[in-house]
Amino acid sequence: MKVSQKDYQLYASRVAWYYFKAGMTQADIAEKLGLNRSRVINILNETRHDGTVAIHVQGKDARLAELEQAFKKHWKLREVMIIPEVAEEQLKQNLSIAGAHLLETRLDPKGALVGLGWGHTVSGITMHLSRMLPEKTEFVSLCGGVTQYLAERRTGNVGAPLSGFYYPFRVLPTPLLLSTRSLCETLLQEAEVQTVMETALLSDMTLVGIGALMPNSEFVRFGYRSQKELELLKNEGAAGEIHGEFFDDQGNVLKLEHHHRLITVKLMQLKKMKHVIGIAGGSEKIKAIRGAITGGFIHSLITDETTALKLL
C-alpha cells in the first residue's frame, strides 16, 4: 500500500535516519513516532524508490574483483564493472542498477555532463539513480528515439524531460531512424537538434547499450528493423549495433544504407569522446560486445560474470 503524501513528507527523513543510521528497529521507530509498523515499512520502501535513500554495497567478492582486473588487462579497458551471475529475466535491471551505482560513485563532485544512449538497459539507469549525484550534474541523449521510453517513467517532476527524474536532461526530439535520407539530413540541420548533438559530444561520461541481432532486440521491437532484415544483416557479417549502427565482431563498421538515416552520435565519434562505457550482458551479446571493444567504440564495460568469463 502506498503511504499517504502527508505522512511521507512528515516522516520520510526521520524514519530513514533512525533505521539506516541509528540502527533502530522498525518496531522502535513506530513506537517513537506514534506510527504502526506497517506504515514505517511503507515509508522505508518509498525512500528507496524516490532516491531519499541510496544504498551502496561497498564490499566486493574477491573472485569478481580478480575477474574484473583480468578482463581489464586482457581487453585493455579503462574500467570494468562485473555484476554477479543472475537469472536472465533479472539481467537488464541489474545492469541498470550497476550503471546507476557507477555514476553515483564516479562523477566529479563539482558536477558533470552525462551522455545516455538508446535502449532499455541504459534508460533503466534513470530509474535507479538517487538524488545524491553532484548538484550540477546534467544529462543529454546521444540519439533520437529516447521518447520511446518516456512512458515508463514516473510522473510528477517539474522541469525535466524525463518525468520523475531529478536532473536536467536534454533530449533529441526526433526518432532514431528516419524514413528517408533527405528527411534525416533536414532534421540534422535544425538548430535544436544540432545543439543537443553538439552538447552530447562534450559528455564527461557516456553510457551506451550494445545490441545484438536477436528476434527480441529492441531495434526489432520498436519497428526499426524486421527479423528478416536482421538475418540479412547477419549474413553480411553484422555482430552488433550501437544506436542502430552495425559492426562486425572485429569492430569494423558495416556500410549500410540505413546508417545515413540515423540521428545519433556515430561510432567514429564515440571513439573520440572522453569516456564511453558500454553496458550489456548475456550470452547472445558475446560477439556484439567483442566487436564494440575491438572497434574502440567503448572505453569501459559493465557486464555480468557469465558473459565476462566467455569473453576471456
Give Cα separations from 223 to 145, 226, 267, 296 (angstroms).
12, 7, 22, 28
Q: What is the pLDDT of residues 249-289, one digit of tens each?
A: 999 999 999 999 999 999 999 999 999 999 999 999 999 99
Integer Cα distance of 98 and 276 in angstroms? 15
**Domain-by-domain residue ranges, the chain?**
5-49, 62-310
pTM of the predicted protein model: 0.79
Fold entry, domain 5-49: Arc Repressor Mutant, subunit A (1.10.10)
d(CA 91, CA 77): 22
pLDDT digits (tens, 9 = 90+) for 68-77: 999 999 999 9
pLDDT tens, 13-50? Answer: 778 877 876 678 888 888 888 888 888 888 888 887 77
Most confident stretch, 16-25, 94-103, 157-166, 181-190:
181-190
Which are the contacts of 12, defined by CB distance < 8 A and separation ≥ 6? 43, 46, 47, 52
| Largest Cα–Cα separation, the chain | 68
What pLDDT is stored for residue 159 in this prediction?
33
Q: Determine the CATH number of domain 62-310.
A: 3.40.50.1360
